[in-house]
Structure 1
C-alpha cells in the first residue's frame, strides 16, 4: 500500500520558517496556511495581527473569520452537483434555465454604447447550468459598458449590501458558450438551487454540507459573533503601503437583515481552518462516495470548456484572465495549461511549484487561494485579506508557499483519476 502524504522530518520547521519570514517581511496582512491529506491535517498555522497595525486587538488564530468571496463558488458548485446526482437538474438542459431562471434568460447581449444609447443584440445561444458553472454563460462581473449599464439601470447593484435577485439580472456581454467571461454565472446557479429546493443557500449548505462535516462558522450572514472574529480587510496603495479598506462590502458595518439575496458566487464568511475541512471532504470523494459520488468527483476534475475552434476561445480567454490576475506564467500560458470544470479551474499540466496535472484550484478576491491535488492526495490553502492586489507580490508569496509545501511533504500517492 502506498503511504499517505506526511510531513518530512524537517517539513514542519520549513513551513514554520516560511510563515514567520513572510509575516515579518510585511508583504501581506496576516496569513493563514494549511495543507492536508484526505484524512489528516498535516499543517495549519497563521500569523499576524487581526487588525493590521493594531496589535492590541489580537493576533489571528484558527477561529478568525475571513471574507471568502469566490471561495464560495466551489461550495455552490458542489451543491449543484448534489442536485444533479439526485436527478433534480441536468447540466445541459436549456429548458431548465428557461423555466427556473426566466429573469436571466430574458436578458439580451449588451454590445456597448453609442453615445448615451446602449446597443443590444438578442441572445441566440442556450443558457445552461453547465455554462453558469463554467463562466461561459457570457455575463461578466463588469466591463466598462456593463458597469455603466448597472449604474444607470440598477437601484441596488449585485455587489452592494441589500442586493436582491433583480440586482443580478444584468445583460450578457457575449453569446453563451463562445468564451470564458468571469462573472455572475455561479450566483445564478445558486438562485437556481434555491428555486428548485425551496431552501436558501445558507439553509441548503448547512443541511447538506456544513452539518455533515461538523462545520459551524460558515455563513452568509454577518452575525455579531462572526463580526467579532473578523479580520480587517486591507488593500495595497500605489506606493506599496498596506492600508485598511472596506472595498465592495462593508461587512463590519452590516447586519444579517442586510442580506437579501445570498450570493453563491461570493457571499460566504467563515474560517480558513474550516475551509480546509471542506476541501478534505471533497478530496475524499476521489476514493469513496461522500459530498458527491466518485463519478461526480471525476467530473469536477474534467475540463468542461469547449475546444477553441469555430469562433470559440474559452481556453484562451481563461488563460488571459489568469495572467491578468497575477498567476505565474507556468500556470497559465503553457500549451493546454488550464481548463475549467463545473466547479474548479484545472491544471492540465504540472505546475513547477509542485501541483501535479489534474489539480483543481481557485481563489477569493481578497487573496485567498486553495487547491486540490488528487494525484498527490493533498489539498492546500494560503489566504489573507488583501483586496484587489493584482501585483506580483502576492503571486510570489503564494507560489513560494506552494513550493515550500511540496518540498516539505513526502509519501504523495501518485494516484490517478
Structure 2
C-alpha cells in the first residue's frame, strides 16, 4: 500500500515542496482523508507555522469549475443558453478578430470570425480565445507591440487579445470561462462573488472563499506564501516576485475573474467537489440533467485530437492532472474528462473529471467510483513534475484506501 504520509514527509525533508494539503471523500462521507503537511512559508521573515486544512491559498483555475456551475444554474433558469450566440450579453466579443498570422514584413494579419461564440464554446476552451502568454501567435503579437502579457485590473482589459482560430474548430486553454463569469454577472445583476455566495457557497456551507482578500482580512492573515522551483538546484525556495493574481503594479484586481480569481481553503473547496459528486442525488447545486451536461464531452473530432496532442507535452499534461497519455481525453463543461479507465479501476474511471490551479493544485471527481479529492499546494511554475508525481501518489493512495475500506479488491 502507498504510504502517502512518508512520501510527502520525505518530499518536504528533501525540499521538493514546502508543504501541501491532501483531502478526499466519497459520496456519503463514510470515507474521508484530510491532512496538512509542511509550513505556510519558506521565507525566513514570514510566518512559518504549519500548514492547516484551513490555510488560505490562491486556487487559481480551480475557480473555473465554480463559474461553470453558476453558468449552468442560469441555463436551468432560462437566463442563459449553451448554444446561442453570446453577443447580446457580451457585445465586446461580436467583432473580436482572429489573428491569422503575420505578413512577411511582420505585421499581424487579422480577419473577422464567422462562427458564433457560444457559452458552450467558452466553457470548453474552444471559442478561439486564449491567454496572451500561452499561444505562439499572441506571444508574437506581444513582441510586435512591445508589450508584456496584460496584467490589468479589469477583466475586459486583461483578456483582450485576438482569437487564434475560428470558434468551435480547435482547442486552446483560454480566458473563455472568465467571459462566462462576466455573463453570469450581466444576466444576474450581481457580481460573480455575490452570485457564488448566494447560489453556491452558502448552499454548501462555505464561508472561506473570496475574490478579494482585502475584504477578508481574516483570510488574508491565513494566506500561505507562494514558493518557486529553483531551476538550478531543483529545490523549492521562497519567491518575492509579483504573483499572477496581482496587477502589474502588484495591486488587487477590480473585477471577479471567473477563470482564476478565488482564494479559498482546501477544506472549503472540498465542499465544492463533494457538492458536484452528490448533486445528481440531492440537486443542491445543479439538477440531475445539468450534472450530465457538466460531465459530457463536447469537443469535435479535430479539437479532441488537438487537445490530446497538447497533453503529449509532459509539462502540459502535469498541469492538467498528469494522467497517462494512453487514455483519451475530451473536455466537458466543468473540466478535463478521461474517456476510459486509468489503470483498470485502480484509479480514475472513465467519465471522471479533473482540473487544477496554476500553483500546482489538482482536483478530481470520479462519479463511477464515488470518490473526489484535492491536492493543494502553492508552488510555481505550473505543471511542476515533482508536484505532479506527489499528486499521482496521493490519488493512488486514496483509491487503495477506499477500496480496502470497502473490502473490494481494486483488481475486480
Residue of structure 2 in register with 1:84 after alignment: 75
Contact map agreement 1:29 1:234 (CA 8 A) in 2: yes
Residue of structure 2 in register with 1:3 after alignment: none
Residue of structure 1 in register with 2:108 after alignment: 118
* Structure 1 position 294 matched with structure 2 position 285: no
Residue of structure 2 in register with 1:57 after alignment: 48
- TM-score scaled to structure 2, two decimals? 0.87
Contact map agreement 1:133 1:343 (CA 8 A) in 2: yes
Residue of structure 2 in register with 1:401 after alignment: 394
* Structure 1 position 272 matched with structure 2 position 270: no
Residue of structure 2 in register with 1:368 after alignment: 361
Contact map agreement 1:236 1:389 (CA 8 A) in 2: no
CA deviation string 1:52-104 (max 9, x = no partner) = 2548631111221111110000000000010011111110012xx12111112
Q: Helix, strand or coil: the match of 2:51?
A: coil
Map of 1:17-416 to 2, 5 A cutoff? 17-40=6-29, 42-54=32-44, 57-94=48-85, 97-114=86-103, 115-142=105-132, 143-149=135-141, 159-160=151-152, 162-223=153-214, 224-239=217-232, 240-245=234-239, 246-250=242-246, 258-306=252-300, 308=301, 313-324=302-313, 325-327=315-317, 331=323, 333-334=325-326, 337-352=328-343, 354-410=347-403, 411=406
Using the TM superposition, give the Cα deviation of residue 383 of structure 1 relative to its aligned residue in structure 2, in angstroms: 1.5
Does the C-alpha gap of structure 1 residues 151 and 81 become closer, same or farther in structure 2, counting only changes over 3 Å? farther
Q: Please give the alpha-carbon distance, in whole angstroms, between the structure 1 residues aligned to 2:4 and 2:385.
A: 21
Residue of structure 2 in register with 1:4 after alignment: none
CA deviation string 1:160-195 (max 9, x = no partner) = 4x2342332321000111111101100110111111
Q: Please give the alpha-carbon distance, in whole angstroms, between the structure 2 residues aligned to 1:48 and 1:206.
A: 30
Q: Please give the alpha-carbon distance, in whole angstroms, between the structure 1 residues aligned to 2:222 and 2:194.
A: 22
Contact map agreement 2:56 2:265 (CA 8 A) in 1: yes
Q: Please give the alpha-carbon distance, in whole angstroms, between the structure 2 residues aligned to 1:85 and 1:215.
A: 22
Does the C-alpha gap of structure 1 residues 249 and 289 become closer, same or farther in structure 2, counting only changes over 3 Å? closer
Of 364-373 and 350-359, more deviation after overlay is shown by: 350-359
Contact map agreement 1:347 1:357 (CA 8 A) in 2: yes
In angstroms, what is the RMSD of aligned CA positions? 2.6
Contact map agreement 2:352 2:364 (CA 8 A) in 1: yes
Using the TM superposition, give the Cα deviation of residue 116 of structure 1 relative to its aligned residue in structure 2, in angstroms: 4.5
Contact map agreement 2:331 2:337 (CA 8 A) in 1: yes
Q: Helix, strand or coil: the match of 1:274?
A: helix
CA deviation string 1:237-288 (max 9, x = no partner) = 221132233342349x966xx3322110000001111001111111111323
Gaps of 5+ in 2: none
The count of corresponding residues between Structure 1 and Structure 2 is 391
Does the C-alpha gap of structure 1 residues 154 and 391 become closer, same or farther in structure 2, counting only changes over 3 Å? same
Gaps of 5+ in 1: 1-9
Q: Please give the alpha-carbon distance, in whole angstroms, between the structure 2 residues aligned to 1:270 and 1:140.
A: 25
Using the TM superposition, give the Cα deviation of residue 15 of structure 1 relative to its aligned residue in structure 2, in angstroms: 4.1
Does the C-alpha gap of structure 1 residues 39 and 400 become closer, same or farther in structure 2, counting only changes over 3 Å? same
Q: Please give the alpha-carbon distance, in whole angstroms, between the structure 2 residues aligned to 1:206 and 1:275.
A: 13
Contact map agreement 2:24 2:373 (CA 8 A) in 1: yes
